[in-house]
Amino acid sequence: MGPAWIIALAMIFDAEIGDPPAWPHLVRYMGLAISRLEGVLRSPASTPFGLRLAGVALVLLVVGGFSFTTWLALYLLEAITPLLAWLMALVMCWQCLSAGQLWREANVVLRALERDLGEARNRLSMIVGRETRNLDEQGVRRAVVETVAENFNDGVVAPLFYMALLGPVGAVAYKAVNTLDSMVGYRDERYLHLGWAAARLDDLAGWLPARLSALLLAAAAPLLGLGASEAWRIARRDHAAHKSPNSAWPEAAMAGALGVRLGGPNHYHGVLVDKPWINPGGGPTGEAQARQCVQLMQLASVLAAGGAVFLAWGLGWWL
């Protein structure tokens, strides 16, 4: 079976099984490598320029190291038996996807909100960076919608895009870039210079997938009786309402499809960050819209997987 089958099965396994906590996972190893290399590379760097050089070295070592290791392992396993290489390719692709985990975690928060606001805040704090202890019910739902929309690109569309083009090596390379950005790509005092290279590379790698994410959400919207044209209109109008050149594309498309207002002020680590509103004319995020958000992301994920399978089938050369 070829690359199209690998992508299809990886998506099915991600949806049905997800990421069992007890299983070894690629992203955890990436996180360990980043943490250790950061300490080694940061210590001799004493100037902003030195920290930027250290950040470039960190990116090269992590992205290059994991990509090369994946390629070498597949090459050696192919020499032993193609079946082992096929199985490893499947596992690597599976672990680069997080669609199933994303909608499961979102549903956990929404179900908790039906029982107890405090429990929902606690559950939400595990999947978002903002402070959750003072959020009301509408604030919890808005946070769920925002994280589902943003991570639809990072955890579904972008990995599938690079998987379809470059196979497991491409998916692993993108996952390394995205993990670097999530760990060091901040604009605070600690990471402003060290994380510069990781943040810029993540912006570049996610540029096209983010726009595809908005298109996919708009394309899936009519399947739920929502407006595709409004989703795309708001995405085009409000995509600049974010410091990232990519994140607001899927968020704005989601806001337009659901008719809700996203973004706005939130507290991060005790500091109020006043972000611009996305779809400021939209309404509050109610229970129905929060549920539709998860359903829309699921349908758009199916469309994304179908597109990736078709592209991989057409190329068919990476394994």
- Tens of pLDDT, residue by residue over 125-163, are 888 888 788 888 999 999 999 999 999 999 999 999 999
Q: Count CB atoms within 10 A of the CB of residue 199.
A: 22
pTM of the model: 0.93
CA distance 14 to 303: 15
Q: In this model, does residue 191 exceed pLDDT 70?
A: yes
pLDDT band at 319 (very low <50, low <70, confident <90, very high): very low
CA distance 85 to 74: 5
CA distance 277 to 62: 35
Give the residue ranges of DSSP H helices in 116-195: 117-125, 137-152, 158-184
Q: Is 34 exposed, middle or buried (0-12, 13-18, 19+ CB in 10 A)?
A: buried
Q: What is the pLDDT of residue 318?
A: 52
Cα dist from 41 to 135, 200, 256, whole Å: 38, 19, 43
Cα dist from 59 to 13, 28, 130, whole Å: 29, 16, 26
Residue-number span of the structural domain to which 21 is assigned:
3-315
The per-residue b/e assignment along 159-171, b for 16 or more CB within 10 angstroms, e otherwise, is: bbbbbbebbbbbb
pLDDT band at 38 (very low <50, low <70, confident <90, very high): very high
At 194, the amino acid letter reads L
Backbone angles phi, psi at 318, to 5 degrees: -85, -5
Computed over every residue of the chain, the mean pLDDT equals 92
Cα dist from 156 to 35, 49, 121, 195, 230, whole Å: 25, 34, 25, 24, 23
Q: What is the pLDDT of residue 317?
A: 58
**Cα 62 vs. chain centroid, distance in angstroms?**
18
Q: What is the pLDDT of residue 16?
A: 92
Q: In this model, does residue 1 exceed pLDDT 70?
A: no
* Token output for 44: 């001799």
Q: In this model, does residue 251 exceed pLDDT 60?
A: yes
CA distance 242 to 293: 20
Q: In this model, does residue 29 exceed pLDDT 80?
A: yes
Q: Is 186 exposed, middle or buried (0-12, 13-18, 19+ CB in 10 A)?
A: middle
The average pLDDT across 84-113 equals 94
Q: In this model, does residue 75 exceed pLDDT 70?
A: yes
Work out how many domains the chain is built from and give that number.
1
Q: Count CB atoms within 10 A of the CB of residue 234.
A: 28
N-to-C CA span, the chain: 10
- Tens of pLDDT, residue by residue over 254-287, are 999 999 999 887 777 777 777 889 999 999 999 9
Q: What is the pLDDT of residue 31?
A: 96
The average pLDDT across 111-123 equals 91
